[in-house]
Amino acid sequence: MLLRVHKDVLSYKAGAKFTKKRAQGNDFLGLREYMSGDEIRFIDWIVSAKLSKPYVKIFQEEKELNIILAPLLGASMNFGLQRVKQDYLSEVCAYLSFAAVQQQSSLSSYIGSDTTFQALGKSKKLEDVHVFVEKIASYDSFAKAVNYQDLSKQLYKQINQKSLIIILGDFFQAQELHLQVLANKHEIVCIVIRDRFEEKAIPLGLVNIIDPLTQKMSKVNLDKKAVYNLTKKLEKEDELLFEKWKKLGVRFVKIYTDELALHKLMAFMSE
């Protein structure tokens, strides 16, 4: 998987830049008409003379990004009809990590589970990406609930430099994930990873279900009424959560485990 993901990122023609800012840098972007406040030293005198109007050069800022990946690994990630969500999440983290290394950004990571801990210190090395992704894929998330309060607290406490923080998970019962203080200091992006069955379940009748959190088996009647109630409950929770993120200026995207993540992911991150 790592070899395939690395190859995909390297061959992605649209580029893998997380942000693009216009400023006084080294890469020439183009020209525009002079505006009040522009520095005279950036006027292109040759073009200005030809067009009889002052034009200034625009450059792209070459500024290193500090990128933090924060995958949420709770018991609910051990579900998937086509692919287990935790495996899919590790692939998405691989895409983001390789893209960060390719653009020479500083990458680090914290895993959010029953406790929050640093999984990768600041790095720009491919070998460190391999170790990090393997940590996610092999992490035992059974019988663990994500401690959202501890996650918010630790990220605020540990991350001092202004950063792009990317939080990934299924975000079930995430009412205690408070991002307001973090969003005031950093740029926050949330990537919601779901299995389609979780949002559009079909009636299955009486079935045996193992709760990944308690690891206990029980019989559940997934009839039409039960499926309808579960679906509506999740829709309401998502509506409240996403509305809260919008008010905080937190960008987010939802990706399903049956989707090819690369193009959707990179298009979103480059917006």
User: Does residue 258 share a domain with residue 162?
Assistant: yes
The whole-number pLDDT of residue 240 equals 96
Length of the chain: 271
- pLDDT value of position 22: 40
> Is the model's pLDDT at 256 over the cut of 50?
yes
Residues 51 and 120 in one domain: no
Radius of gyration of the chain (CA): 22
Q: List pLDDT tens digits, range 90-103.
A: 999 999 999 888 88
Does residue 219 belong to any structural domain of this protein? Answer: no
Domain boundary (6, 38, 60) is at: 60
Two tokens, residue 266: 């990179």
At 165-184, the pLDDT tens digits run: 999 999 999 999 999 999 99
In tens, the pLDDT along 209-239 reads: 888 888 899 999 999 999 999 999 999 999 9
Model pLDDT for residues 35-49, shown as the tens digit of each residue? 766 778 788 898 889
Q: What are phi and psi of 109, to 5 degrees?
A: -150, 150
In contact, 194 and 170? CB cutoff 8 Å: yes
Which amino acid belongs to residue 101?
Answer: V
Q: What is the pLDDT of residue 17?
A: 56
> What pLDDT, in 10s, does the model give residues 87-134?
999 999 999 999 888 888 899 999 999 999 999 999 999 899 999 999
The encoded tokens of residue 118 equal 């640093």
Residue 236: predicted pLDDT: 96
H or E segment and range at residue 242:
helix 224-248
Q: Is the pTM of this model over 0.85?
A: no
Q: Are 57 and 39 in contact (CB under 8 A)?
A: no
pLDDT tier at 15, thresholds 50, 70, 90 = very low
- The answer to whether residues 56 and 141 belong to one domain is no
User: Which comes out higher in pLDDT, residue 40 or 199?
Assistant: 199
The least confident of 56-60, 103-107, 261-265 is 56-60
Per-chain mean pLDDT for the chain: 88
Instruction: Average the pLDDT over 194-221 and give the result.
Output: 91
C-alpha 33: how far from chain center? 37
Residue 151 domain-assigned? Answer: yes
Structural domain for 174, as ranges: 66-194+249-269
DSSP-assigned letters across all residues of 28-97: EEEEEE--TT--GGGB-HHHHHHHTS-EEEEEE-----EEEEEEB--GGGS--SSS-HHHHHHHHHHHHH
Q: What is the CATH number of the domain that holds 82?
A: 3.40.50.410
d(C-alpha 219, C-alpha 41), whole Å: 75
Domain count, the chain: 2
How confident is the model at residue 60, as a pLDDT? 57
> 239 lies in a domain?
no
3-state secondary structure of 135: helix
Q: Assess whether 56 and 78 both reside in one domain.
A: no
> Between 190 and 11, where is the model more confident?
190
Worst-scoring range by mean pLDDT, 4-8, 157-161, 186-190? 4-8
